[in-house]
Structure 1
Amino acid sequence: MGQRAAIYARVSTADQSCDRQVLELTGFAERGGYEVIGVFKETASGASANRAARNRILDLAQARQIDAVLVSELSRWGRSTQDLLDTLNKLAGWKVSVVAMSGMTFELDTPHGRMMATMLAGIAQFERDLLSERVKSGLAAARARGKKLGRQPGQRSKSDKLAPKVVQAVAKGRSYRWIARDLGISKNTVLDIMKRHRENS
Protein backbone atom coordinates (compact mmCIF):
# COMPACT_ATOMS: atom_id res chain seq x y z
CA MET A 1 0.00 0.00 0.00
CA GLY A 2 0.92 3.65 -0.30
CA GLN A 3 1.30 6.21 2.44
CA ARG A 4 -0.85 5.96 5.56
CA ALA A 5 -3.20 8.92 5.82
CA ALA A 6 -5.78 10.46 8.15
CA ILE A 7 -8.74 12.27 6.58
CA TYR A 8 -9.72 15.47 8.36
CA ALA A 9 -13.02 17.22 7.60
CA ARG A 10 -14.33 20.29 9.41
CA VAL A 11 -17.47 22.43 9.18
CA SER A 12 -18.04 25.57 11.18
CA THR A 13 -21.67 25.18 12.28
CA ALA A 14 -23.82 22.35 13.60
CA ASP A 15 -26.30 22.65 10.70
CA GLN A 16 -23.58 21.79 8.17
CA SER A 17 -22.30 18.30 7.41
CA CYS A 18 -18.80 16.91 6.87
CA ASP A 19 -20.18 14.14 4.65
CA ARG A 20 -19.40 15.84 1.33
CA GLN A 21 -15.81 16.60 2.37
CA VAL A 22 -15.35 13.01 3.58
CA LEU A 23 -16.77 11.58 0.34
CA GLU A 24 -14.50 13.77 -1.82
CA LEU A 25 -11.44 13.11 0.35
CA THR A 26 -12.05 9.34 0.33
CA GLY A 27 -12.10 9.42 -3.47
CA PHE A 28 -8.98 11.60 -3.48
CA ALA A 29 -7.22 9.10 -1.16
CA GLU A 30 -8.13 6.18 -3.44
CA ARG A 31 -6.85 7.99 -6.53
CA GLY A 32 -3.63 8.94 -4.73
CA GLY A 33 -3.02 5.41 -3.44
CA TYR A 34 -3.27 6.39 0.25
CA GLU A 35 -4.12 3.86 2.95
CA VAL A 36 -6.75 5.64 5.08
CA ILE A 37 -6.05 4.95 8.76
CA GLY A 38 -9.00 6.97 10.05
CA VAL A 39 -11.61 9.60 9.19
CA PHE A 40 -11.88 12.51 11.63
CA LYS A 41 -14.83 14.92 11.54
CA GLU A 42 -15.21 18.15 13.48
CA THR A 43 -17.78 20.90 13.94
CA ALA A 44 -15.88 23.98 15.09
CA SER A 45 -15.41 27.55 13.96
CA GLY A 46 -12.14 28.42 12.24
CA ALA A 47 -10.93 30.30 15.32
CA SER A 48 -11.96 27.65 17.86
CA ALA A 49 -9.13 26.27 19.95
CA ASN A 50 -11.18 23.24 20.94
CA ARG A 51 -10.37 20.79 18.15
CA ALA A 52 -10.51 17.30 19.66
CA ALA A 53 -10.45 15.46 16.30
CA ARG A 54 -7.48 17.47 15.06
CA ASN A 55 -5.65 16.77 18.32
CA ARG A 56 -6.21 13.02 17.81
CA ILE A 57 -4.59 13.30 14.37
CA LEU A 58 -1.61 15.14 15.89
CA ASP A 59 -1.30 12.29 18.42
CA LEU A 60 -1.28 9.75 15.55
CA ALA A 61 1.37 11.80 13.75
CA GLN A 62 3.54 11.98 16.85
CA ALA A 63 3.19 8.22 17.29
CA ARG A 64 4.38 7.82 13.67
CA GLN A 65 1.15 6.01 12.75
CA ILE A 66 0.42 8.23 9.71
CA ASP A 67 2.46 9.77 6.90
CA ALA A 68 -0.05 12.37 5.68
CA VAL A 69 -3.14 14.36 6.63
CA LEU A 70 -5.69 14.81 3.84
CA VAL A 71 -7.83 17.97 3.88
CA SER A 72 -10.20 19.54 1.35
CA GLU A 73 -8.40 22.88 1.75
CA LEU A 74 -5.75 24.25 4.08
CA SER A 75 -8.18 26.61 5.88
CA ARG A 76 -10.00 23.53 7.24
CA TRP A 77 -6.86 22.54 9.16
CA GLY A 78 -5.43 25.82 10.54
CA ARG A 79 -7.20 28.16 13.00
CA SER A 80 -5.03 31.04 11.85
CA THR A 81 -1.93 31.54 9.74
CA GLN A 82 0.27 31.25 12.84
CA ASP A 83 -1.55 28.14 14.05
CA LEU A 84 -1.22 26.63 10.56
CA LEU A 85 2.51 27.34 10.53
CA ASP A 86 2.98 25.93 14.06
CA THR A 87 1.13 22.68 13.29
CA LEU A 88 2.86 22.27 9.91
CA ASN A 89 6.22 22.62 11.71
CA LYS A 90 5.15 20.02 14.30
CA LEU A 91 4.04 17.62 11.59
CA ALA A 92 7.26 18.20 9.62
CA GLY A 93 9.21 17.16 12.72
CA TRP A 94 7.28 13.88 12.68
CA LYS A 95 7.76 13.49 8.87
CA VAL A 96 4.04 13.97 8.22
CA SER A 97 2.78 16.12 5.36
CA VAL A 98 -0.54 17.91 4.91
CA VAL A 99 -2.09 17.29 1.51
CA ALA A 100 -4.90 19.52 0.24
CA MET A 101 -7.38 18.11 -2.27
CA SER A 102 -6.07 20.54 -4.90
CA GLY A 103 -3.06 18.22 -4.89
CA MET A 104 -0.87 20.76 -3.07
CA THR A 105 1.38 19.05 -0.54
CA PHE A 106 2.84 20.92 2.42
CA GLU A 107 6.12 19.38 3.55
CA LEU A 108 8.24 21.92 5.37
CA ASP A 109 11.42 19.87 4.97
CA THR A 110 11.44 20.41 1.17
CA PRO A 111 12.59 23.59 -0.66
CA HIS A 112 8.99 24.27 -1.73
CA GLY A 113 7.78 23.68 1.82
CA ARG A 114 10.40 26.02 3.29
CA MET A 115 9.32 28.72 0.84
CA MET A 116 5.70 28.18 1.94
CA ALA A 117 6.76 28.41 5.61
CA THR A 118 8.56 31.72 4.95
CA MET A 119 5.45 33.07 3.21
CA LEU A 120 3.15 31.88 5.99
CA ALA A 121 5.42 33.42 8.66
CA GLY A 122 5.29 36.72 6.76
CA ILE A 123 1.49 36.56 6.53
CA ALA A 124 1.21 35.71 10.25
CA GLN A 125 3.36 38.73 11.14
CA PHE A 126 1.27 40.91 8.81
CA GLU A 127 -1.92 39.70 10.56
CA ARG A 128 -0.43 40.53 13.99
CA ASP A 129 0.65 43.99 12.80
CA LEU A 130 -2.79 44.58 11.30
CA LEU A 131 -4.51 43.60 14.54
CA SER A 132 -2.20 45.84 16.55
CA GLU A 133 -2.87 48.71 14.15
CA ARG A 134 -6.64 48.19 14.44
CA VAL A 135 -6.45 48.24 18.24
CA LYS A 136 -4.39 51.44 18.20
CA SER A 137 -6.65 53.17 15.67
CA GLY A 138 -9.71 52.05 17.68
CA LEU A 139 -8.26 53.59 20.85
CA ALA A 140 -7.35 56.78 18.96
CA ALA A 141 -10.88 57.01 17.53
CA ALA A 142 -12.36 56.49 21.00
CA ARG A 143 -10.16 59.29 22.39
CA ALA A 144 -11.17 61.54 19.49
CA ARG A 145 -14.81 60.99 20.44
CA GLY A 146 -13.93 62.17 23.92
CA LYS A 147 -14.08 58.76 25.57
CA LYS A 148 -11.78 58.50 28.58
CA LEU A 149 -9.85 55.23 28.63
CA GLY A 150 -8.44 53.55 31.71
CA ARG A 151 -8.73 54.80 35.27
CA GLN A 152 -8.61 58.58 35.44
CA PRO A 153 -6.51 60.49 38.01
CA GLY A 154 -8.45 60.72 41.24
CA GLN A 155 -10.91 58.03 40.15
CA ARG A 156 -11.33 55.35 42.78
CA SER A 157 -11.24 51.66 41.96
CA LYS A 158 -14.25 49.42 42.62
CA SER A 159 -12.55 47.88 45.67
CA ASP A 160 -11.94 51.37 47.15
CA LYS A 161 -15.61 52.26 46.71
CA LEU A 162 -16.78 49.00 48.29
CA ALA A 163 -14.27 49.02 51.17
CA PRO A 164 -16.67 50.60 53.73
CA LYS A 165 -19.36 47.99 52.93
CA VAL A 166 -16.83 45.16 53.24
CA VAL A 167 -15.52 46.41 56.60
CA GLN A 168 -19.10 46.87 57.86
CA ALA A 169 -20.10 43.33 56.77
CA VAL A 170 -17.01 41.81 58.43
CA ALA A 171 -17.86 43.70 61.63
CA LYS A 172 -21.31 42.07 61.52
CA GLY A 173 -19.66 38.66 61.38
CA ARG A 174 -20.32 37.87 57.72
CA SER A 175 -17.95 35.41 56.03
CA TYR A 176 -15.56 36.63 53.35
CA ARG A 177 -17.17 34.26 50.83
CA TRP A 178 -20.66 35.62 51.57
CA ILE A 179 -19.42 39.23 51.28
CA ALA A 180 -17.69 38.52 47.97
CA ARG A 181 -20.82 36.90 46.54
CA ASP A 182 -23.12 39.62 47.88
CA LEU A 183 -21.01 42.51 46.51
CA GLY A 184 -20.04 40.82 43.25
CA ILE A 185 -16.30 40.81 43.91
CA SER A 186 -13.73 38.06 44.42
CA LYS A 187 -12.79 36.66 47.81
CA ASN A 188 -9.22 37.88 47.20
CA THR A 189 -10.53 41.45 46.80
CA VAL A 190 -12.26 41.14 50.19
CA LEU A 191 -9.00 39.87 51.71
CA ASP A 192 -7.05 42.79 50.17
CA ILE A 193 -9.57 45.35 51.46
CA MET A 194 -9.40 43.94 54.99
CA LYS A 195 -5.59 43.79 54.86
CA ARG A 196 -5.43 47.48 53.86
CA HIS A 197 -8.02 48.34 56.52
CA ARG A 198 -5.96 46.66 59.27
CA GLU A 199 -2.76 48.37 58.07
CA ASN A 200 -4.46 51.79 58.16
CA SER A 201 -6.20 51.23 61.50
Structure 2
Amino acid sequence: MIIGYARTSTTDQKAGLEAQERDLRAAGVERLYQEQTSATGPRKALAEAIDYARHGDTLVVTKLDRLARSVAELVSITKQLEAKGASLRVLNLNLDTETPTGKLMLNMLGSIAQFERELMLERQREGIAKAKGEGKYKGRKPTARAKADEVMRLAETGLSREQIAKELGIGVASVYRVLASTRHQ
Protein backbone atom coordinates (compact mmCIF):
# COMPACT_ATOMS: atom_id res chain seq x y z
CA MET A 1 0.00 0.00 0.00
CA ILE A 2 1.15 3.54 -0.67
CA ILE A 3 0.66 5.70 2.43
CA GLY A 4 0.92 9.48 2.22
CA TYR A 5 1.83 12.00 4.90
CA ALA A 6 1.24 15.74 4.52
CA ARG A 7 1.99 18.45 7.10
CA THR A 8 1.99 22.20 7.40
CA SER A 9 3.25 24.07 10.44
CA THR A 10 0.23 26.29 10.91
CA THR A 11 -3.49 26.14 10.23
CA ASP A 12 -3.34 29.17 7.93
CA GLN A 13 -1.24 27.23 5.39
CA LYS A 14 -4.30 25.61 3.83
CA ALA A 15 -3.03 25.98 0.24
CA GLY A 16 0.22 24.21 1.16
CA LEU A 17 -1.67 21.28 2.63
CA GLU A 18 -3.94 21.08 -0.42
CA ALA A 19 -0.92 21.11 -2.76
CA GLN A 20 0.72 18.30 -0.82
CA GLU A 21 -2.49 16.27 -0.91
CA ARG A 22 -2.78 16.81 -4.68
CA ASP A 23 0.81 15.69 -5.29
CA LEU A 24 0.49 12.68 -3.02
CA ARG A 25 -2.74 11.55 -4.67
CA ALA A 26 -1.07 11.93 -8.08
CA ALA A 27 1.73 9.66 -6.80
CA GLY A 28 -0.82 6.92 -6.12
CA VAL A 29 -1.33 7.37 -2.39
CA GLU A 30 -4.15 5.13 -1.21
CA ARG A 31 -4.28 6.20 2.43
CA LEU A 32 -3.45 9.77 3.43
CA TYR A 33 -2.53 11.11 6.85
CA GLN A 34 -2.34 14.86 7.25
CA GLU A 35 -1.99 17.41 10.01
CA GLN A 36 -1.32 21.04 10.70
CA THR A 37 1.24 21.17 13.47
CA SER A 38 4.82 22.21 14.04
CA ALA A 39 7.49 19.60 13.42
CA THR A 40 8.89 20.29 16.86
CA GLY A 41 5.76 19.15 18.67
CA PRO A 42 3.95 15.83 18.72
CA ARG A 43 2.79 14.69 15.29
CA LYS A 44 -0.07 12.31 15.85
CA ALA A 45 -0.85 11.72 12.14
CA LEU A 46 2.79 10.82 11.39
CA ALA A 47 2.84 8.34 14.26
CA GLU A 48 -0.42 6.84 12.97
CA ALA A 49 0.97 6.58 9.42
CA ILE A 50 4.12 4.81 10.61
CA ASP A 51 2.08 2.55 12.86
CA TYR A 52 -0.23 1.65 9.95
CA ALA A 53 2.66 0.74 7.62
CA ARG A 54 3.13 -2.96 6.90
CA HIS A 55 5.67 -5.09 5.05
CA GLY A 56 5.90 -3.92 1.43
CA ASP A 57 4.20 -0.57 2.08
CA THR A 58 5.73 2.78 1.12
CA LEU A 59 5.36 6.02 3.09
CA VAL A 60 5.38 8.96 0.67
CA VAL A 61 6.01 12.64 1.46
CA THR A 62 6.30 15.57 -0.93
CA LYS A 63 9.42 17.07 0.69
CA LEU A 64 11.92 15.95 3.30
CA ASP A 65 11.18 18.92 5.59
CA ARG A 66 7.54 17.80 5.86
CA LEU A 67 8.80 14.62 7.54
CA ALA A 68 11.79 15.44 9.74
CA ARG A 69 13.74 18.42 11.15
CA SER A 70 16.98 16.63 11.90
CA VAL A 71 19.10 13.78 10.64
CA ALA A 72 18.54 11.92 13.91
CA GLU A 73 14.78 12.19 13.50
CA LEU A 74 15.00 11.15 9.85
CA VAL A 75 17.11 8.12 10.75
CA SER A 76 14.65 7.19 13.51
CA ILE A 77 11.68 7.34 11.13
CA THR A 78 13.44 5.33 8.41
CA LYS A 79 14.51 2.72 10.98
CA GLN A 80 10.92 2.37 12.18
CA LEU A 81 9.78 1.87 8.60
CA GLU A 82 12.61 -0.58 7.83
CA ALA A 83 11.74 -2.63 10.92
CA LYS A 84 8.26 -3.06 9.48
CA GLY A 85 9.60 -3.92 6.02
CA ALA A 86 8.30 -0.61 4.63
CA SER A 87 10.14 2.06 2.66
CA LEU A 88 10.14 5.84 2.30
CA ARG A 89 9.76 7.89 -0.86
CA VAL A 90 10.33 11.65 -1.14
CA LEU A 91 8.65 13.03 -4.25
CA ASN A 92 10.53 16.27 -4.90
CA LEU A 93 13.88 14.45 -4.67
CA ASN A 94 12.76 11.38 -6.62
CA LEU A 95 14.23 9.39 -3.75
CA ASP A 96 13.19 5.90 -2.64
CA THR A 97 14.77 4.00 0.27
CA GLU A 98 14.02 0.65 -1.35
CA THR A 99 17.36 1.04 -3.13
CA PRO A 100 20.84 1.31 -1.56
CA THR A 101 21.42 4.53 -3.52
CA GLY A 102 18.17 5.92 -2.17
CA LYS A 103 19.24 5.18 1.40
CA LEU A 104 22.61 6.85 0.85
CA MET A 105 21.05 9.92 -0.77
CA LEU A 106 18.47 10.23 2.00
CA ASN A 107 21.17 10.38 4.67
CA MET A 108 23.27 12.85 2.69
CA LEU A 109 20.33 15.12 1.92
CA GLY A 110 19.09 14.91 5.49
CA SER A 111 22.50 16.07 6.72
CA ILE A 112 22.51 18.96 4.26
CA ALA A 113 18.96 19.98 5.20
CA GLN A 114 19.86 19.98 8.90
CA PHE A 115 22.99 22.04 8.16
CA GLU A 116 20.91 24.58 6.20
CA ARG A 117 18.38 24.83 9.02
CA GLU A 118 21.09 25.40 11.62
CA LEU A 119 22.61 28.15 9.44
CA MET A 120 19.20 29.78 9.04
CA LEU A 121 18.60 29.70 12.81
CA GLU A 122 22.05 31.18 13.41
CA ARG A 123 21.33 34.04 10.98
CA GLN A 124 17.96 34.56 12.65
CA ARG A 125 19.59 34.79 16.10
CA GLU A 126 22.15 37.26 14.75
CA GLY A 127 19.39 39.39 13.23
CA ILE A 128 17.43 39.42 16.47
CA ALA A 129 20.55 40.36 18.47
CA LYS A 130 21.27 43.21 16.04
CA ALA A 131 17.67 44.45 16.18
CA LYS A 132 17.73 44.30 19.99
CA GLY A 133 20.96 46.28 20.01
CA GLU A 134 19.30 48.93 17.85
CA GLY A 135 16.20 48.93 20.05
CA LYS A 136 14.00 47.70 17.20
CA TYR A 137 13.19 44.23 18.50
CA LYS A 138 10.51 44.02 21.11
CA GLY A 139 9.80 40.29 20.99
CA ARG A 140 6.43 38.66 21.07
CA LYS A 141 3.57 40.70 22.50
CA PRO A 142 2.83 39.37 26.00
CA THR A 143 -0.68 37.95 25.70
CA ALA A 144 -1.20 36.99 29.31
CA ARG A 145 -0.31 40.42 30.73
CA ALA A 146 -2.75 42.00 28.30
CA LYS A 147 -5.45 39.77 29.77
CA ALA A 148 -4.54 40.38 33.42
CA ASP A 149 -7.84 42.12 34.20
CA GLU A 150 -9.80 39.22 32.70
CA VAL A 151 -7.69 36.71 34.67
CA MET A 152 -8.47 38.58 37.90
CA ARG A 153 -12.19 38.84 37.08
CA LEU A 154 -12.46 35.11 36.35
CA ALA A 155 -10.42 34.21 39.45
CA GLU A 156 -12.85 36.20 41.59
CA THR A 157 -15.73 34.12 40.20
CA GLY A 158 -14.09 31.00 41.64
CA LEU A 159 -12.86 29.39 38.41
CA SER A 160 -9.77 27.18 38.70
CA ARG A 161 -6.46 28.29 37.17
CA GLU A 162 -6.88 25.64 34.47
CA GLN A 163 -10.39 26.83 33.61
CA ILE A 164 -9.22 30.44 33.40
CA ALA A 165 -6.37 29.46 31.09
CA LYS A 166 -8.70 27.52 28.81
CA GLU A 167 -11.29 30.31 28.77
CA LEU A 168 -8.73 32.98 27.82
CA GLY A 169 -6.53 30.85 25.56
CA ILE A 170 -3.38 31.33 27.63
CA GLY A 171 -1.10 28.97 29.54
CA VAL A 172 -1.83 27.87 33.09
CA ALA A 173 1.61 29.12 34.13
CA SER A 174 0.67 32.55 32.79
CA VAL A 175 -2.46 32.56 34.96
CA TYR A 176 -0.34 31.74 38.02
CA ARG A 177 2.12 34.53 37.12
CA VAL A 178 -0.65 37.13 36.73
CA LEU A 179 -2.26 36.13 40.02
CA ALA A 180 1.08 36.08 41.83
CA SER A 181 2.08 39.50 40.50
CA THR A 182 -1.21 41.07 41.60
CA ARG A 183 -0.81 39.69 45.16
CA HIS A 184 2.59 41.40 45.46
CA GLN A 185 1.29 44.83 44.47
- In the superposition, the TM-score normalised over structure 1's length comes to 0.50
C-alpha spacing 1:133/1:42, structure 2 compared with 1 (3 Å): same
Partners of 2:86 and 2:80 in 1: how far apart? 9
Amino acid in the other structure paired with 1:104? L
Which residue in 1 is equivalent to 2:3? Answer: 7
1:71 to 60, 64, 72: 60
Which residue in 2 is equivalent to 1:42? Answer: 34
2:116 to 121, 126, 140: 126
1:25 to 25, 28, 32: 28
Runs of 4+, deviation exceeding 6 Å: none
Which residue in 1 is equivalent to 2:95? Answer: 104
Partners of 1:191 and 1:22 in 2: how far apart? 53
**Residue deviations 1:20-78 (CA, integer Å, cap 9, x gap):** 6324415xxxxxxxxxxx512426478585754432211123xxx24332426334851
- Aligned length, in residue pairs: 153
C-alpha spacing 1:133/1:46, structure 2 compared with 1 (3 Å): same
C-alpha spacing 1:175/1:132, structure 2 compared with 1 (3 Å): same
**Residue deviations 1:118-157 (CA, integer Å, cap 9, x gap):** 44124313312320232123212331x245879xxxxxxx
Aligned-residue offset at 1:98? 0.5
Per the alignment, in what secondary structure is the counterpart of residue 18 of structure 2? coil
* Aligned-residue identity in percent: 12
Which of structures 1 and 2 has the bigger CA Rg? 1
Partners of 1:141 and 1:124 in 2: how far apart? 26
Aligned-residue offset at 1:177? 3.2
Which residue in 2 is equivalent to 1:56? Answer: 48
C-alpha spacing 1:52/1:106, structure 2 compared with 1 (3 Å): same
Q: Is this contact kept in 1: 2:6–2:61, CA < 8 A?
A: no
C-alpha spacing 1:89/1:52, structure 2 compared with 1 (3 Å): same
Per the alignment, in what secondary structure is the counterpart of residue 14 of structure 2? coil
C-alpha spacing 1:120/1:107, structure 2 compared with 1 (3 Å): farther
C-alpha spacing 1:114/1:6, structure 2 compared with 1 (3 Å): same
Consecutive unaligned residues in structure 1, runs of 5 or more: 27-37, 151-157, 163-173
Partners of 1:190 and 1:56 in 2: how far apart? 40
Which residue in 1 is equivalent to 2:176? Answer: 187
C-alpha spacing 1:48/1:25, structure 2 compared with 1 (3 Å): farther
Amino acid in the other structure paired with 2:132? A
Please identify, of 47-56 and 115-124, the stretch whose mean Cα deviation from structure 2 is larger: 47-56
C-alpha spacing 1:97/1:24, structure 2 compared with 1 (3 Å): closer
Please identify, of 119-128 and 12-21, the stretch whose mean Cα deviation from structure 2 is larger: 12-21
Partners of 1:135 and 1:51 in 2: how far apart? 26
Per the alignment, in what secondary structure is the counterpart of residue 67 of structure 1? coil
